[in-house]
Amino acid sequence: MHRPSHAGGLWRLSFFSAICLFALLWVVAGCAPKKEIVRQPALEPYAGPVTIEILKQSVGFRNIQTIKALTDVRVFKQGEPAGSFSGVFGYKTPDSLKTVFFGPLGLTVMEMLLTPEVLQVFVPSRNIIYEMLSPALSFSSLLHDSRFRYEMQMEGDFYALSAYSAADAADGPAVTYLFDRTYLLNRRIIIYRSAEKALTLSFENFNGVVPELTRLSFSNGTAMEMTFREPEFDTEIPDGFFRKIEHGDNDVLPFQELLKRFAPRR
């Protein structure tokens, strides 16, 4: 059955917001010398009231201003290894991030840039840039969008915060965030499309509020596993790092064309 257009738009927004959060959790910095691991302050168990607003505030990195680090990425298809690569990442609060991934010979496999002005994903091997101008989105924008209503409930050992379409009370959740009951760490994000799971992100091995291991599972059988190395927090990142990717001779396609590759199998 064909879904109303607003439902498709909300799925794209929730999917994109989760991808932005995931990209923030990839963090990488290139071929730098080996550095001492930087540990974030140990978290204290949360003892206050648990409300919808408190859970919204627990999504993301809370009070961290910048992040840069290294990461190793492994890709799986239908459970079988399908490749690996590394990359570099920078994040600057509130809405700027850039991630560059490298292949075995150090060649750039993909770049992703998000700023308040533009969202771009560049695939050099195909000379394609997927682009959305003025996205007005950040990794937590879903939590402040008037098109959603929110419900909180318990799911096993987790607090669950679910976002539903405000325009259609019959719709299932667009996204559910799961938080542990001790520290309110965001342990999992589940994105739905047409009441089916489209993407699940799981976060483990936390360094303060930053997970050092992230797993993504797409409904088409593709999965990714990211491990962080040598993170740096609240250090200077030049604004030029987040400069828009020039079009040059590349083909420029709507960002929605990229999302279609990860749509649930029908």
Band (61; pLDDT cuts 50, 70, 90): low
Whether residue 27 is predicted with pLDDT greater than 80 in this model: the reply is no
pLDDT at position 155 = 92
Dist. CA 123–CA 100, nearest whole Å: 10
Q: Which residues of 156-179 are buried (b: 16+ CB within 10 A; e: fewer)?
A: eebbbbbbbbeeeeebebbbbbbb
Phi, psi angles (nearest 5°) of residue 159: -85, 135
The answer to whether 111 and 121 have CB atoms below 8 angstroms apart is yes
- What proportion of the chain, given as a percentage, has pLDDT over 90? 23
State the Cα torsion 117-139-170-261 to the nearest 10°. Answer: 80
Hey, where are the domains in the chain? 5-232+249-262
d(C-alpha 152, C-alpha 12), whole Å:
22
Most confident of 110-114, 159-163, 202-206, 261-265: 159-163
- pLDDT above 90 (res 217): no
Number of Cα atoms under 13 Å in the Cβ half of residue 180 = 13
Is residue 51 very low, low, confident or very high in pLDDT (cuts 50, 70, 90)? very high
Q: What are the angstrom distances between the C-alpha of 64 and each of 13, 56, 209? A: 24, 16, 9
Give pTM, 2 decimals: 0.72
Confidence (pLDDT) at 249: 95
d(CA 15, CA 264): 11
For 158-201, write each residue's pLDDT tens digit. 999 998 888 876 778 888 999 999 999 989 988 887 778 878 88
User: What topology is assigned to 5-232+249-262 in CATH?
Assistant: outer membrane lipoprotein receptor (LolB), chain A (2.50.20)
Using CB atoms within 10 A of its CB, is residue 104 exposed (0-12), middle (13-18) or buried (19+)? exposed
